[in-house]
Chain A
């Protein structure tokens, strides 16, 4: 850290009580609402605990063994990974293409166009999910109304187990593409204008500038943008819970919804088991992010060499 120079250190002694007073809100609040919950979740995952009453005997690895032999747990992991494998590459690639077009200085009304893609990102996910229930309704929804006029359907987008997951992925992609777009636009801002300008003066064509300057300079961002997009995708609770609640027939059961059901939505809540599944999801997140980091770094390096 090069943030501090000597005068700070000298003054620090005189101001020590103030320093700790200023850190107090963070230590108390962040400690109680982030650090402790993380540790407590791990502890809970080893308890046989319903969530009610003081009885919570130590259960060892029982919750984890239960998870590994629970078909719904595996189903939920499969659904979560499928959503990541399908939507993350699409989002990262298409958002990059879109960002390059939207970053073009010749483009009129660029700000307005950008805003249009950003707006679904900030729209409340739960509300979008609830409204989509009507928009995609097979009986009276407007989408099927239009499809009906075209002589198609009706399609039961959310009620048909073979269609529901793809529908959720489509809405998820629509809603969050703009966020990945924001990441890429921020990455494009880091390319200094004078580099492009110098290349132009030297007679490089637009295409040469793109393949020899823009792409190599964006390569280092592939890894971080992919990771951010994956982590968001793992937190897909709001949309799935409001659109399908994990159904029909568990076809959209993502792990976050499964945890919620185990902890809050059943007549017999299982805090211990829900915590174990939560810890496993946390571990899976780290593994997936790690793999993605390695893969996209390899891709990035290839791009840079070329």
Chain B
């Protein structure tokens, strides 16, 4: 027993060093966001700033437009999570619990489409949004991020709703609940863990998406999200590195917090990809 415990601690020590190396670049970004313009160049890889220079955050928030970008990121991400949950839950519910003509076709198209590479879609999606007049709008961006794909979400709901016992539904009917009320007050609340998984995976994916908001905000920098807004720091000759680190920290902390707090649900969503 003692021998195996010692082995456990040796293993721990090796893995801990590796783990620290793995998070080091992120810790360095957080530290750099508090350094001043001179020490960011002279400190090397040190994690401790000479003095805590919060001014970088004030500058990024006020002058570099990060207040705007943060708001945009929040609106776009939350909007996308709502759209994805609504459309995946409703589709998963009827596919999982009803047998109807066309069911196999719907399922077949969903499965086949999950093999399409996502990069292939961007040009037609831009065309479609132009035709609909929503290319330069928040709605257009939210739809471009949330309306396609997410087959895994539909399948998660389908599997979950299919295994709910019929008695539960019959009881709801006895109580006089119709189709809509059965769904919203019995079934959807039951699917809490699935909803959490879909929400967390969608939140993290949307917050970090770069390609779609990049293409959708070419003509309108005010609607940029954090990931795209960071580009404003790049390319000029006198890059404001401490401001960039502060902006990066502001962009990374929300998504990392969501992940660390709700890790279980995210890992479950990823695990679903392997087990299917």
Give bound CA distance, A118 to B93, whole Å. 32
Main secondary structure of the interface of A (DSSP, over half): helix
Which of these, B25, B95, B208, contacts A126 with CB under 8 Å? B208
Contacts of A64 in B (CB 8 A): none
128-159 of chain B: CB within 8 A of chain A: 128, 143-144, 146-149, 154, 158-159
Task: Please tell me which one of the listed residues B90, B118, B123 contacts residue A22 in the complex, with CB atoms under 8 A apart.
Answer: B90
Contact of B26 among A15, A36, A119 (CB under 8 A): A119
**Chain B hits for A274, CB < 8 A:** 123
Nearest Cβ in chain B — how far from A102, in angstroms?
Answer: 7
B110 and A174 contact, CB distance less than 8 A: no
Which of B99, B146, B218, B251 gathers most chain A CB within 10 Å?
A: B99
**How many B residues touch A, CB cutoff 8 Å?**
104
Task: Say which one of B15-23, B49-57, B58-66, B189-197 lies at the interface with A.
Answer: B15-23
A46 within 8 A of B: no
Q: Total number of A-B contacts with CB less than 8 angstroms? A: 282
Q: Say yes or no: A109-B211 contact (C-beta < 8 A), given A23-B106, A122-B255.
A: no
A168→B268 CA distance, assembly (Å): 29
**B contact patch SS:** helix
Q: Name the interface residues of B250-270: CB closer than 8 Å to any CB of A.
A: 251-252, 255-256, 259-260, 263, 266-267, 270
A residues near B, CB below 8 A?
A: 1, 3-5, 7-9, 11-12, 15-16, 18-19, 22-23, 25-27, 29-30, 32-38, 40-41, 44, 51, 101-102, 104, 106-109, 112-113, 115-120, 122-128, 130-131, 133-135, 140, 142-143, 145-146, 149, 174, 178-179, 182-183, 185-187, 189-190, 221, 224-225, 228, 231, 234-235, 237-238, 241-242, 256, 259-260, 263-264, 271, 274-275, 278-279, 281-282, 285-286
Which 6 A-B residue pairings sit nearest by Cβ, starting from the closest?
A: A33-B148, A186-B271, A116-B19, A106-B8, A37-B124, A29-B147
B→A interface (CB under 8 Å): 4-5, 7-9, 11-12, 15-16, 19-20, 22-23, 25-26, 28-29, 32, 40-45, 83, 86-88, 90-91, 93-100, 104, 106-107, 109-110, 113, 115-125, 127-128, 143-144, 146-149, 154, 158-159, 162, 166, 179-180, 183, 204, 207-208, 210-211, 215, 218, 226-228, 230-231, 233-234, 239, 241, 244-245, 248, 251-252, 255-256, 259-260, 263, 266-267, 270-271, 273-275
